[in-house]
Structure 1
């Protein structure tokens, strides 16, 4: 999936009129607010408002965002999952079929493989003719905050570098890396004390592919089939037997205080996955068991199962279960079988214009008995957080989109459950203005406050293929139950994206928040170079 953009370019070079071509684009989150997520692509020509965008989780593509506004190179989206989107998070489109309209459709084989919907096809190097392919990006971002509060002003800089070198020098050796360095202008001494207070190594690994069915990873890498484990520092060995994949991992976890290397946090385990493909859809299942230690003692032992399914027409199913197999209370160790995480999701496309989705989650506090030994009793007494999320997306006309999302979350010890209701209407190409406009409203009620948010925004391509911008306004009214006070905010936002060169981008986002006594301004500037 890391070379989908290159794959799309190659496909377009070989395609001819009358053929169908599968396209699957990759984008990245450029900016995220409490209401919107901005995703940047090389081009949005194959995306329309109302489309669903996806996250890759544990080896499958999971619906995550719905597009509400578009420009030539970016998409404004609404999240449909309970997930914290961060800058440079990779987002994927759903495979589409593009058909030439000026000639009769002729079904013909495409010269490149078509990526199936809602699943991940692992990229394989040709064992006979490995060919070097290198891609990546370098980015620099500035986050500045200005206010008239006692906290004053601050600035945070973030530098990122990511690279994927496949088949180095036409060999079977590959490498990938993703580094980030963050510092605040007034907290440089924190970095001087420990460089890992600023430097974060999310990926730094070598891969050797013995054949198209056997490969070995060495270094820091997140395994897509063990995504709940997080990064693994060490060895990862994988073998494929037709539709079955078997893997083993051994190494350590990153330090839980600064994400540096920590040899005392050993971990090891294995996984088994099966993928079934038909003309009607795909099905993928995986099972894993992991043992994690701290100073030689068991910190956590758990099992993980995941299943995704698109075999039913217009239906996408996804589910994951995580079960703890070990506990240690009052220095007494024992085996157990306790549910720690359950997530179920179903999405149904009733007709082309209407889709429904429903999800359920049940999350317990994950307990590392050695790491958290001082607060284990408190964590064990905390009840699970359960929640439901239901969403409807409807397209009544060519350029009109609307949707409603409602959520309900509860924990036994909370005074009252958390409820929210969100709705939006988007119109593309507003007559006479040539802009995309979105109006939305959110009603929110938590254990400690209630509130409402009203928003209106427009987005327009200012210079075709080069510059696009947007304006947003939000009115926020929160009421806090404990003090019977309220907080009213007026928020204005301006964003611009400039495609300087084919692989060079500059993003600008300004957000102003105005309250009765205080004013806040946030300025985000990013420059990205792809290669």
Structure 2
């Protein structure tokens, strides 16, 4: 059976090679003000502030909106085009997918506006070796997302099937294989799948690796290279050589198609990278640089350089920094190769004591511009200001069962009426007497150029039967005031989550969420069944 799986997906690699690490995430315009456009998604887990959202026109994705802030299921955006949008109009996000391990966070992330959409939970891989020496690991998952509303137009159901597989040293050879595939569809949109299977099928990773020796290796297929993760997925060839503490590599292939993420050889891309890694007595350091060129129909679409550095040379201090430069600009048919700083991110973590942790981060993001793909909108995109932001976080655990912390964020752009800021604080008490449950209390206060609000949350979590069963119960109270219309929004939210390990490698998860407003009630049901092997 294991060999049949390997053979099946190896065949897919040779004949299909048709999906990107970037997957399409569809949303709809839910509300429009004089300054902002609100877009609702099933989940915004793969969308970040500063990302561009697209409008599909004549089978082409056209930049339409820039994300200025977001919650778990909606985005607040600034228009990038003068075209009039309407409520209910479809909007597309291009988001990088990740495989999420089974991890229960110590404290929840800051929530900006509303109840989090239940996220898919996949258990970590296990590894087993067959008689021929193949190290095989993976998981299969089936998930159902159901949205029920007192307004029939907001009700929907979505199914998602995923397979993650890794086969190392197939039959004891130097050949390895890995893949991550998902298939998703809505109950009332099967016709779209029939028109184009890639409206539902997403092949995020599908690649063969041949390791000649400890120094030389080559990848063929679709893969994200961790040394140049900013590039996203690449279809084609990736070669890497190691010498002493250095690693060098080249990438040659193409980008996925903008519309259906299939193989598109007109979107060629190529480049190289150099990385240095060193483990020292006092810590480690890693630095890398990459230069890439991306084309569209033979013309330069984007040329950029990416630099990254990480180290832990100072005791209890972890530093990460990255910068990205665009090396190509074309405006009014005039080409310039003057470097332009497009993205900056700096993060610093400090463990002051065993009980106290501090972290700080700074980011500045510009819109990524593809000069051939979106040449009709170049002037508008070039005028977009950089979004800058700061975040400071403190976590303190004075006693074994009690911890608390706070996180503050500040984000601004020159064109904003006022900067956005938020403060989040929590206290976590483990193993409450009598009920042996964990209690989490949190509060969020936020203010942007279009609203201000508060979110208060209380939750209980507990595991039973030596960790075989896990349950949580959460209540949230949300209150917003919108400046433009002087209107208010109040929500009461309840969430019940359960997970049960039916067998050693079989996990069932169920999440039920209800949101109560004055006129509307929303219910969301998420069910996931995961089998590891």
Same fold (TM over 0.5): yes
Distance 1:315 1:344 in 2: 13
Deviates further, 151-160 or 283-292: 151-160
Alignment-derived partner of residue 327 in structure 1: 329
Question: Cα offset for 1:375?
Answer: 1.3
Decide which of 108, 112, 116 is 1:78's aligned counterpart. 108
Alpha carbons 1:165, 1:176 under 8 Å: kept? yes
2:476 pairs with 1:474: yes
Question: How much has 1:302 moved relative to structure 2?
Answer: 0.2
Task: Determine the C-alpha separation between the residues in 2 that align with 1:85 and 1:238.
Answer: 39
Shift of 1:487: 0.4
Q: Structure 1: how far apart are the matches of 2:123 and 2:361?
A: 22
Matched, 1:403 2:433: no
Q: 1:418–1:445: 8 Å Cα contact kept in structure 2? A: yes
Equivalent position to 2:369, from 367, 370, 374: 367
Q: Structure 1: any 5+ residue segments left out of the alignment? A: 1-30, 37-57, 59-63, 66-71, 93-129
Alpha-carbon shift at residue 465 of structure 1 (Å): 2.6
Equivalence for 2:189: 187
Give the aligned partner of residue 236 of structure 1: 238
Which residue of 454, 472, 494 maps to 1:492?
494
Instruction: Name 2:252's counterpart in structure 1.
Output: 250
Q: Which residue of 1 aligns with 2:128?
A: none
Instruction: Give a deviation string over 1:179-224, Cα, whole Å, max 9, x none.
Output: 0111000111111111111111100000000001110000000000
Q: Give the conservation status (yes or no) of the 8 Å contact 1:32–1:86.
A: no
SS in 1 for 2:240: strand
Partner Cα separation in structure 2 for residue 520 and residue 271 of structure 1: 48
Aligned: 1:87 with 2:117: no
2:514 alignment partner, one of 506, 512, 515: 512
Q: How many Å separate the matches in 2 of 1:278 and 1:143?
A: 47
CA distance in structure 2 between the aligned counterparts of 1:447 and 1:472, rounded to whole angstroms: 29
Q: When the two structures are aligned, how many residues end up with a matched partner?
A: 433
Q: Which residue of 2 aligns with 1:393?
A: 395
- How far off its partner does 1:132 sit? 1.9
- Which of 459, 463, 466 is residue 465 of structure 2 equivalent to? 463
Of 291, 303, 306, 2:308 maps to: 306
Structure 2 gap ranges (5+): 1-42, 46-69, 73-95, 126-131
For the residues of structure 1 that align with 2:286 and 2:357, how far apart are their CA atoms? 23
Q: Work out whether residues 71 and 111 of structure 2, in 8 Å CA contact, stay in contact via their aligned partners in 1.
A: no
1:436 is aligned to: 438
Structure 1 position 448, deviation (Å): 0.7
Matching residue of 2:527: 525
What value does the CA root-mean-square deviation take over the aligned residues?
2.6
Q: Distance in 2 between matches of 1:180 and 1:167?
A: 24
CA contact (8 A) 1:507 1:527 kept: yes
- Are positions 1:161 and 2:135 aligned together? no
**Runs of 4+ with deviation above 3 angstroms:** 31-36, 72-77, 79-82, 84-92
The aligned residue for residue 286 of structure 1 is 288
How much has 1:397 moved relative to structure 2? Answer: 0.6
Q: 1:254 to 1:88 in 2, by over 3 A?
A: farther
Contact 2:111 2:444 in 1 (8 A): no
Name the SS of the counterpart of 2:153 in structure 1.
coil
Would the aligned equivalents of 1:80 and 1:391 in 2 still touch at CA under 8 Å?
Answer: no
Q: State the TM-score, normalizing by the size of structure 1.
A: 0.78
Q: For structure 1, which segment, 249-258 or 491-500, has the greater mean C-alpha deviation from structure 2 after superposition?
A: 249-258
1:448 alignment partner, one of 435, 441, 450: 450
| Per-residue deviation, 1:244 | 0.4
Q: Which residue of 2 aligns with 1:199?
A: 201
Counterpart for residue 417 of structure 2:
415
| Equivalent-residue separation in structure 2 for 1:218 and 1:370 (angstroms) | 27
Tell me which of 222, 225, 245 is aligned to 2:224: 222
Partners in 1 of 2:296 and 2:499 — Cα distance? 46
**1:4 counterpart residue number:** none
| SS of residue paired to 2:198 | helix
Q: For the structure 1 residues 87 and 476, does the alpha-carbon distance in structure 2 shift closer, same or farther, using more than 3 Å as the test? A: same
Question: In structure 1, what is the Cα distance between the partners aligned to 2:516 and 2:119?
Answer: 25
SS in 2 for 1:79: coil
**Structure 2 residue matching 1:351: 3-state secondary structure:** coil
What is the CA-CA distance between 1:85 and the residue it aligns to? 11
Shift of 1:358: 0.3
Q: Distance in 1 between matches of 2:373 and 2:120?
A: 29
The farther-off stretch of 249-258 and 293-302 is 249-258
Q: Distance in 2 between matches of 1:165 and 1:506?
A: 25
Residues 508 and 457 of structure 1, relative CA distance in 2, 3 Å threshold = same
Query: Alpha-carbon deviation of 1:377?
Result: 1.1
Alignment of 1:145 with 2:175, yes or no, is no
SS of the counterpart of 2:281? coil
- Contact 2:110 2:424 (C-alpha < 8 Å) held by counterparts: no
